[in-house]
Amino acid sequence: MNFLRLDRHFGQSLELFVLIPLAAVSMSVISGVVTFHLGVPDTLQDFLKTTTLVALLVSVPMAGLAAQYDLRIRRSNEKLERLASTDPLTGLLNRRSFLSAVGDEMARMKRTGNSAAIAFVDLDRFKQLNDTFGHKFGDEVLCTLAVLLSDELRHPFDKLCRWGGEEFVVLTSNVTPDQARGIFERLRRRIENHCFESGSVHTYVTASFGAAPVSAMSDLDEAIQSADEALYAAKRGGRNRVVFTSLESDTGVWPLSA
């Protein structure tokens, strides 16, 4: 990414190096043409008219070039920002951007006193699906899953991230633990009941959820670790279930669905 930025900056500097001499040459040519046709101004009034005409003939096209150049820079920067903050396959937030969003949400919770929940979502037996139908179909399943999850969330309040591989992370904002359990269970059922299709291939998949509450006083690393442990508990418990861990519970984790 750094090499890409250096290449783009070099290209932009080269364009400026070309545009500035071009503007100077254009002004000289236009001034010469105007002077040749109109003659040397004899009075101050004629001089001001000629100068104004030359300035307009030069500045208008140069302003257009400058505006176009600025627009190209803005679009390039926006594209670079999207590439740096999103997952290239699904278009979801990548891990770095998601963690930044969670940090912002925790700062907001300090002001509002609200709570949230974080959940890992992992497709069950995804390697088997890839081996059976191919990696292309597996990628299509991941993209479809991203849409299914996104459609059930409240934007822009909830956040969705592709953590890596077939693993996603969801942050639900301004919810109680009971409300979060209901949201994650609804997401689980949505995945379970969806038929994933591509051409003549169609199949059903399931996902396991490991969730943990998040408050303004939570340690983010501990909350993520707790949700990750809950995910492993869901896998060990038979997959296709939601396991929610309470950071204050002596019993650790418990399944919400079979």
Catalytically active residues are: 166
User: What DSSP string describes 90-152?
Assistant: T-SB-HHHHHHHHHHHHHHHHHH---EEEEEEEETTHHHHHHHH-HHHHHHHHHHHHHHHHHH
> How many helices and strands in the chain, by DSSP H and E?
7, 8
Pairing, β 207-214 against β 242-245: parallel
Q: Considering Cα of 185, then 243, then 179, then 106, what sign does the dihedral take?
A: negative
**CB-count burial class (<10 Å; 0-12, 13-18, 19+) for 161:** buried
Taking the chain, what is the end-to-end CA distance rounded to the nearest angstrom? 44
165 with 99: CB under 8 angstroms?
A: no
153 with 160: CB under 8 angstroms?
A: yes
Neighbours of 59 (CB within 10 A): 13
Amino acid identity, position 41: P
